[in-house]
Structure 1
Amino acid sequence: MSKDQHSAVVDAQSRLSFSVCAELKEAILSAGGGEVFAVGCLDAGGKVNTIEVVARGSSDAVPALASYFEKGSVLIHNHPSGKLQPSEADVTIAAEAGSFGVGSYIVDNDAGFLYIVAEPARRRSLKMLDEESLAKALDKGGKLARTMPDFEPRPSQVAMAADVASVFNHGGILAAEAGTGVGKSFAYLLPAIGWAQGNEERVVISTATINLQDQLFSKDIPLVSSIFRKKPKTVLVKGRANYLCRRRLQEAIDEEGLMLDEQSPLKRIAAWDKAGGTGDRAALPFRVDDQTWGRVCSEAEACLSLRCPHREKCHVIVVRKNAADAQIIVVNHHLLFADIYSRRRSAGIEQTSILPSYNVLVLDEAHAIEDSATSLFTESLSRFSLLKKLSQLWRRKGRGFFGSMASLAASPSLSSERIRAFETRIQEVQGSMASLEASAMGSMGEAASMRLKEKTAIIATSLCEPAGRLQRSILALTKDIADILETLPESKAQEPAAYETRMVARNLNESADLLARFKDFDLNPDTVFWIEKSKSLQKEPFVYFNATPLEVAPLLEKSVFEKLRSVVCTSATLTVGGSFDFWMRRVGIAKQREDLEARIYTSPFPFAGNAVLAVDPQAPHPQRQKTAYKEYIPGAVLRLLLASRGRALVLFTSYEMLGASFEKARPALEAEGISCLRQGMDERSRLLAMFRNDISSVLFATDSFWEGVDAPGETLSMVVLTKLPFKVPDEPVLQARAEAVEKAGGNAFMEISVPEAIIKFKQGFGRLIRHSQDRGVAVVLDQRLATSRYGSLFVESLPRCKLVPGGLSVLEDEIRRFLDD
């Protein structure tokens, strides 16, 4: 269109950067020339320099975009007709956006011309934090010291707070390793709250563990907030599966019919919700098993969004609105990366997570972000996940039919023959899935997992061909769905059931796409394709078909470190031998960045006098003498625990060794009045509470207990690390990443395996000293710490403390002497 058709029409590049115009044009092209909605952020000159595509195909999605709106941003969409004059709906949308201070632009499909429907509110210039004043609040005589009588000023905490304030002020990345006792949460919360309040900007704080998430929300943030005149609005956000979906609950109740009594879990959940329940599973006053909750929880794949009859009272929407109004948002890494993943896919508003837009991020427990991102960015397909999609469409129960297609089957346009053919098509998909799973089970033999590495004749026959057949069955089904939807009258095609059917079809097409890549896995070198065995809640074996990015560093670099204005990454364990190089390389932070600061804040605790690191160099080698090592550990653990009189956490790398040691130690320890606890006996938080409350008790645990256990005082006087925590070398993703390092001329063991084990080892050692008055012994029953060429790297990565090498008799004497001193 010509520029002078309307006075509000301008050259697009007068309001949008060249790269934004190109990105819009590409997004519109990818949508087949249909409507695309994006939210843009303005640079200092008022030009849109970044956008995020948030919805496609329908203006119906726009009212759900509030969680994306940031004051001063712009809602941009195209008119495929090329006529840029706003419609009545456009004006309504612009008014809705304007209530948030958000502008509204309309562009043509080439992103060449732009209609200004409403100008965005111009944001005021950023209000810089007073770095010196903030640091003083944590110092002797500061505001926090006056508020908290037992507050102990720590120079390392003061320094970290000043550095966090600086990166908030000037932008960039701060990598902050804060040793035990630094008080890193206060060091970042003080500037985070100051920044959020002074600049009306959200700050997102993400943790790896629920324990820290709850501690921040319930304890630390209220304490730090007490020194501010105005309390910040803080929201704890969980993944949507933690919240009840009213529509799914009603469907589950309807499906069960008259068989349900009032005391059934479904009816009790409904009564709780009707009485004003929050919808949060954690707030339920009674326990609900995972299978039941899985039927009624909110899921992106089952969300009807604006077409849901319960939308106005949707628990997820309530949380989303609360988050949109919050200044401090506390999340976990899984939710953070789920949000990033949905935004990267631009899957549409119904597929998005709960988080609103943000520019300032604090990643606590940042040592875990590679694993969290790897898990989240892994695409999976299993028999159960596929059956779940199919049951959303069509399922029999007794004499009845349920699912979205069952709701549409009453349409006169669908003959009984058409419905029977559709049901047959579903059965074909189920049969193809069963065939693929059986072939996979046969290919794996006794192995728990297997990576598709080379396309041998056996792999091609047993996996690739069945995957191709399943892909074709799914595509035939989704074509049938499209054909059926085409025949529906307009009124029926707009019903929620039709919308849900389209959504399931889209999800099935994504499964077909995954199968296509599985079939041609050798053509996708940047993805690790692997299969693993698992068991259902009913102990029924099945197989996962997984596709994992070979590296997540490029994804994190683009989606986090290049995109956000300020990012603080902190943990007690980011360095190996005093260097951040390994961790930064794995998560996508370029060392040469000018806006990068990497700092180590040393622990104020007196490790040199209060901690001993003991190692048995005479222990059998865990790899070369496996049988002897397995026989040695249970007896060695018992001797150490008798010497310490309990009061210990024993950490393992395998459940088998944990079980053998527990059974060996339990009778002898209980005869001495020492309680024995083991992982799996009870829920984690209750197990840790029992351990803390019983001073002489011993806790036997593995993997997840290497971190996040906080038991100050005499309760945890000894940590036994039975083995250096190397990952299993034949784990498919680790194996693929190691081969990539070797192919590039590196040493995978020294560049991946050793650094990963050191960071985990530091976490395990870190359970020992949790308070300045704590004393304790860390015992390592792995001779490699003392005898291998890399053992010194483990020792040098720990705080300086007394090192005692010796056989079990020497270690027993040292434990008694040190703990009884």
Structure 2
Amino acid sequence: MTALPYPALHASHAGVWVADGDGATRGIGRGEAIRLAADTPVLLLNAPLVGQRLGHPEINGLDLLELFAFVHPARFVVPTPGGLARALGLEPPAHDQDVPALLRAAADALLARCRAEAWAEREGAWTSAQSLTRLRWMWGAPLMDAIARPKEAERWLFARLPEWDEGAPRPNPRTVVLEEAEVADRLRSLTGAGAEARHGQRAYATAAMRAFAPRDTRDEPNMLLAEAGTGIGKTLGYLAPASLWAERANGAVWVSTYTKALQRQLGHESERLVPDDTERRQRIVTRKGRENYLCLLNLEDALQGGFQGRAAILAHLVARWAAYSADGDMVGGDLPGWLPTLFRRNGSTALTDRRGECVYAGCPHYRRCFIERAARASVHADIVIANHALVMVNAARGREAGGRPTRFVFDEGHHLFDAADSTFATALSGAETIELRRWVTGPEGRSRGRRRGLAARLSDVASYDEEGGRAIAAAVAAAQALPSDSWLQRLHEGAPFGPIETLLAAARGLVFARDAKAEDAGYGLEAELAEPDAALVEAAGPAAEALDQLLRPLVVLGRRLEALLTDGPDWMDGQARARIEGAIASLGWRADLVGGWLALLARIGGPADPDFVDWLAVDRIDGREYDVGLHRRWLDPTRPLAELVLKPAHGVLVTSATLTGGGDTDVAESLTGAQHLSRPPAHFAVPSPFDYAAQSEVLIVTDIKRGDLPALAGAYGRLILAAQGGTLGLFTAIRRLRSVHARIADRLAREGLPLYAQHVDPIDTGTLIDIFRDDPRASLLGTDALRDGVDVPGHSLRLVVMEGVPWPKPTVLHAARRLANGGSAHDDRIIRARLAQAFGRLVRRADDRGAFVLLSAACPSRLLTAFPEGTPISRVTLDEAVARIAAPPLSAMRAGERIGAG
């Protein structure tokens, strides 16, 4: 029996249960549960999710997840009753009605750990609990009773964090040639002495050596496009030559991914390469964009009163985590993905540097900064695990100039096109321009926080350099022409203020006049930037003039800062130099941004540029507008990718299980930028070792009418029930996903089959996948992120259901690329790639079994090459599909799971 005198509450789609103070559990109605939570502090698990189940989102109480985050910061736990039980060594509940008793036992166990001498995360806990108690955090008083007061005063968080050291520049890599025998030996050491020999993996590792051979000609990298079927073991296959080359050449290999899930997987695989934790942190470093990392200056501001209410509680829990975090990564690192969602919209993004206003060496925490530590560690690392966007941004903005990588491995290479498309895009929108205004001017009106403008960040420069001071003042004055707070409301009222808001108002008017979907309030609207009306043409001139007035002082200021570095005045110490170098980089980025906007405005009323696609858009969610803008994308974004990333490299390996997407090598070259190189790439392909004919089947259901939501929901419900869970449901539209979930969640819950959904459950995507992986009877509904980023081997995923053929969305951008790339053949390539990726979620290991169901009355046969050769494909009715899924081997697998779980 827990010492806490509070009832425990649990809600699921199947019902609501409460354990009162005497420990007895009873079922109650949702209304009674809401009243109970309003009148009495209750123990619960994941308050936002419980609130959603009760239809009362703002419910709160003593959330066990918040307590776990305090007691065990930077530790992983699946945020379900079963996951919490296993993490604490308790018996997982067999039924929903057993959960309230577990919550009471879990609270007892966590508080008991705070009393134990062996509590590993004791340091700083007493001070933190004291602060949280003052903030009226519900767990504050129980924790103060459980935590013994330390004999000596605890150090402030920022004093406990280690400092990074500045190292000498790394010399250029040596020229080395790898031998096939030594790569094979390295591969054997990575897979283990007792591992079964995989000939495909060895052939892959041998082929990958090409990317690490010496380059013969400038701008002609040794490039290999390698398609390796699922199960080949390509991660260890390329890590074998990569690690060997890094050691012998004393150079860094950048392994780039598209999804955070693969970044985490690579981190786990690296333990085979370097088993020792300390050595591994030096030799293998994970890098992400700076917006992913905790900003210590933002955290300090939050802890000292910048945050209020629940946001302040989150800041203190993040501070607890920061003291134990391996790298300070708040997005996909060791910060539990569920922690920010417990606080809904209360400030987690404000704890990162999303505005690009870092003061670098001017920050008092600069020497302890997680971002700077990762950047310096990567200079001397053997393997840097990055992502496609970071690699491209660094190349475009000239970062990593002191040690530019020469060898790249692009895993998930089929996403290079999409990553380049986003990275090299231009958007002159309300959201982008107001962010630039804030970066230049700093706080205005009633805005709060530590945001500082150019004048505050460079005050010493302004006082020392007269011309630089004038440039700062001119930039601040010119920024007044950019949109300010409430700009969107003024557009709705027909009263824009300033030349940029006038331009956006004209763009908005033209979109509503020309988009055929204007009456559909659920989706964003767009219109091609062709034959603009008089209002848009007239607005373009003053807008361009205003932007030019801003660009000029930014360029002048950048030059003055560069001159200042050359002059080296007496007051410029190492920290001041680093801060000014950071300011130069930020100014260059903003100058390029404004330059791109000016090029886009020059298009209005003039000839179209054949290299780009331009359009106007009104962005909406459920009919609510949140941005208006002019957009530009490269018709072929792999052109800048080739110029900025591929050509300067010495060796590039691009790999994926679906690199050709069921097509040929020309598809791979067009998606990766290889077609823009003077030296053609080498190609390598090895099929999956899995027996798809025995392990899987594709069922195309022919009797579900497109657009019939009740029939679609019924199909999903019957299929999930036949498989007894373990189902990944994929949708192309969020509205249909929500509708299907609402129709079937309660029915499945009554059968003991939990159903979770992206865009419905208040849980981040990574955590949803963790929950799905942890429970073989759970099912998960989602969109594109789940089609490409889910790695769930084993019985937890045994059925994939797609709502229909994933046709490309008919946007202006897609229409232009379709016209330039073969019409319907272009569409087919996209669809085959999507089908191949979705099917690839199903069989991840040699003992996996499962079915792939496509709910499409008319799926063209030409698209079926997306599936691996030999996969059985049948066109069936829904009744037949349900019967086949309910039959062996899936039914035998389910029986085995129930025995194993029991």
1:301, CA displacement in angstroms? Answer: 4.2
Q: Which residue of 1 aligns with 2:774?
A: 693
Instruction: For 1:110-149, list aligned pairs within 5 A.
Output: 125-126=175-176, 128-135=177-184, 138=187, 142-144=188-190, 146-147=192-193, 149=194
1:760 matched to 2:827: no
Match of 1:732 among 812, 830, 838: 812
Q: What is the number of residues matched between the two proteins?
A: 666
Match of 1:575 among 650, 660, 663: 660
CA distance in 1, matches of 2:323, 2:622: 29
CA distance in 2, matches of 1:686, 1:386: 33
CA distance in 1, matches of 2:558, 2:695: 72
Instruction: For 1:211-360, list aligned pairs within 5 A.
Output: 211-217=261-267, 219-225=268-274, 233-246=283-296, 263=312, 279-281=328-330, 282=333, 287=340, 292-298=347-353, 301-305=356-360, 311-343=366-398, 352=399, 356-360=403-407
Q: Which residue of 2 aligns with 1:93?
A: none
Q: Output the amino acid matched with 2:656.
A: S
CA distance in 1, matches of 2:307, 2:259: 42
1:472 matched to 2:545: yes
SS in 2 for 1:777: strand
Q: Which residue of 2 aligns with 1:6?
A: none
Match of 1:518 among 600, 607, 612: 600
Describe the shift of the 1:324–1:806 C-alpha distance in structure 2 as closer, same or farther (beyond 3 A). Answer: same
1:716 matched to 2:797: yes
Taking structure 1 as the reference length, what is the TM-score of the superposition? 0.71
Q: Output the amino acid matched with 1:370.
A: F
Instruction: For 1:77-92, list aligned pairs within 5 A.
Output: none
Q: Which residue of 1 aligns with 2:434?
A: 387
- Percent identity reads 25
Contact 1:550 1:736 (8 Å CA) reproduced = yes
Contact 2:511 2:527 (8 Å CA) reproduced = no
Contact 2:642 2:676 (8 Å CA) reproduced = no
Instruction: For 1:60-209, list aligned pairs within 5 A.
Output: 100=169, 125-126=175-176, 128-135=177-184, 138=187, 142-144=188-190, 146-147=192-193, 149=194, 151-169=195-213, 172-209=222-259
Match of 2:535 among 461, 473, 477: 461
Q: Output the amino acid matched with 2:271.
A: P
CA distance in 1, matches of 2:558, 2:420: 37
Q: Which range is displaced more, 795-804 or 260-269?
A: 260-269
Q: Which range is displaced more, 270-279 or 601-610?
A: 270-279
1:326, CA displacement in angstroms? Answer: 0.5
1:436 matched to 2:464: no
Contact 2:314 2:348 (8 Å CA) reproduced = no
Unmatched 5+ stretches in structure 2: 1-165, 216-221, 484-496, 513-517, 893-902
Contact 1:643 1:815 (8 Å CA) reproduced = yes
Q: C-alpha deviations, 1:214-245, integer Å up to 9, x for none?
A: 1111x2111144599x9781111111112344
Q: Which residue of 1 aligns with 2:689?
A: 604
Contact 2:661 2:836 (8 Å CA) reproduced = no
Q: Output the amino acid matched with 2:887.
A: R
CA distance in 1, matches of 2:224, 2:835: 24
CA distance in 1, matches of 2:428, 2:847: 51
Instruction: For 1:29-40, list aligned pairs within 5 A.
Output: none
1:189, CA displacement in angstroms? Answer: 0.9
CA distance in 2, matches of 1:136, 1:636: 51
Instruction: For 1:497-576, list aligned pairs within 5 A.
Output: 509-521=591-603, 522-534=607-619, 541-576=626-661
SS in 1 for 2:437: helix
CA distance in 2, matches of 1:816, 1:553: 45
Describe the shift of the 1:500–1:783 C-alpha distance in structure 2 as closer, same or farther (beyond 3 A). Answer: same
CA distance in 2, matches of 1:656, 1:537: 9
CA distance in 2, matches of 1:207, 1:483: 37
Unmatched 5+ stretches in structure 1: 1-96, 103-120, 344-351, 742-746
CA distance in 1, matches of 2:651, 2:363: 37
Describe the shift of the 1:163–1:428 C-alpha distance in structure 2 as closer, same or farther (beyond 3 A). Answer: closer
Contact 2:454 2:472 (8 Å CA) reproduced = no
Describe the shift of the 1:480–1:651 C-alpha distance in structure 2 as closer, same or farther (beyond 3 A). Answer: closer
CA distance in 1, matches of 2:507, 2:429: 11
CA distance in 2, matches of 1:319, 1:734: 38
SS in 1 for 2:255: strand
Contact 1:717 1:775 (8 Å CA) reproduced = yes
Contact 1:337 1:376 (8 Å CA) reproduced = yes
Q: Output the amino acid matched with 2:204.
A: M
Taking structure 2 as the reference length, what is the TM-score of the superposition? 0.65
Match of 2:528 among 426, 447, 452: 452
Describe the shift of the 1:733–1:253 C-alpha distance in structure 2 as closer, same or farther (beyond 3 A). Answer: farther
Contact 1:646 1:697 (8 Å CA) reproduced = yes
* Structure number with higher relative contact order (C-alpha < 8 Å, ≥ 6 residues apart): 2
CA distance in 2, matches of 1:160, 1:784: 38
Q: Which residue of 2 aligns with 1:749?
A: 824
CA distance in 1, matches of 2:653, 2:700: 36
Q: Which range is displaced more, 803-812 or 311-320?
A: 311-320
Describe the shift of the 1:757–1:505 C-alpha distance in structure 2 as closer, same or farther (beyond 3 A). Answer: same
CA distance in 2, matches of 1:271, 1:404: 32
Instruction: For 1:626-645, list aligned pairs within 5 A.
Output: 627=707, 629-645=708-724
1:759, CA displacement in angstroms? Answer: 0.9
CA distance in 2, matches of 1:617, 1:796: 19
1:773 matched to 2:844: no
> Over aligned residues, Cα RMSD in angstroms?
4.4
Contact 1:762 1:797 (8 Å CA) reproduced = yes
Q: C-alpha deviations, 1:731-758, integer Å up to 9, x for none?
A: 23222212333xxxxx3221x2111110
SS in 1 for 2:856: coil
Contact 2:397 2:589 (8 Å CA) reproduced = no
SS in 2 for 1:637: helix
SS in 2 for 1:396: coil
CA distance in 1, matches of 2:858, 2:622: 39
1:662, CA displacement in angstroms? Answer: 1.9
Q: Output the amino acid matched with 1:443.
A: L
